[in-house]
Amino acid sequence: MPLIGTPAGLVAQVRFNHSSARDTTQIPSFDKYKSGSGDASNRAFSYFMVGTTGALSFLGAKTTVADFLANMSASADVLALAKVEVDLSTIPEGRNVTIKWRGKPVFIRHRTADEIEEANSVNIKDLRDPQTDAERASKPEWLVMLGVCTHLGCVPIGEAGDYGGWYCPCHGSHYDISGRIRKGPAPLNLEIPVHSFEEGNKLVIG
């Protein structure tokens, strides 16, 4: 039956009361998931986790650094190149031999008795870089020097120059038979590398 005030032909809108339906705005309780041990133990656990993570990170970093350093250290073949062995019996008296050591030329001179005498006759007070021959050659017949001019690094020529030793053509430096600078712009004598004489007429450089 149409209601009063309702246009004819329309059925009255029926509204339902939702008060009986379940309230979806209720927040569920999570109390049963809460730790019963309180705040202090939670904090201790957090500290433990942070500390453990830190310690593990430190160990990881330490291992990484150790691996890196192990990779950076010289390998056996590089170490082998650090020293060079020369058989001196193959170098005749009065001859020069040039070998390569650590990428640089090394001059080895088998000096004659006259050359040794000449080297010792020089008054070292007259030298720009005063050094006796004995300070440069522990075995007088063998002179071992870096073949690098002390001016700007050219490679001097052997058996040349005004002093019968080595001559650097780059800017005209003259070295004597002991490799000492005698004339020209070079400030120092040719450098003597670390070397030793071993059994069996062997020279070890490095």
Q: Which of 179, 157, 175, 177 is nearest to 113 (CA)?
A: 177
Q: Is 171 an annotated catalytic residue?
A: yes
The CB-of-177 to ligand FES minimum distance in angstroms stands at 18
The residues, any chain, with a CB within 8 Å of residue 36's CB and separated by 6 or more, are none
**CB-nearer residue toward ligand FES: 61 or 152:** 152
- Say which of 18, 110, 151, 171 is annotated catalytic: 171
Q: How many other CB atoms are there within 10 angstroms of residue 176's CB atom?
A: 23
Q: Which of 140, 164, 185, 206 binds ligand FES (CB under 6 A)?
A: 185
State the chain's maximal CA–CA distance in angstroms.
Answer: 147
Q: Which of 161, 173, 175, 180 binds ligand FES (CB under 6 A)?
A: 173
Q: Which of 171, 187, 196, 201 binds ligand FES (CB under 6 A)?
A: 171
Contacting ligand FES within 96-115 (CB under 6 A): none
Provide the strand spans (E) within 63-156: 84-87, 96-101, 104-110, 142-146
Q: Which of 137, 143, 145, 149 binds ligand FES (CB under 6 A)?
A: 149
The span from the first CA to the last CA of the chain, in angstroms, equals 120
Q: Which of 105, 83, 92 is nearest to 191 (CA)?
A: 105
**Residues noted as catalytic:** 171
Residues contributing to the site for ligand FES (CB under 6 A): 149, 151-154, 168, 170-173, 184-186
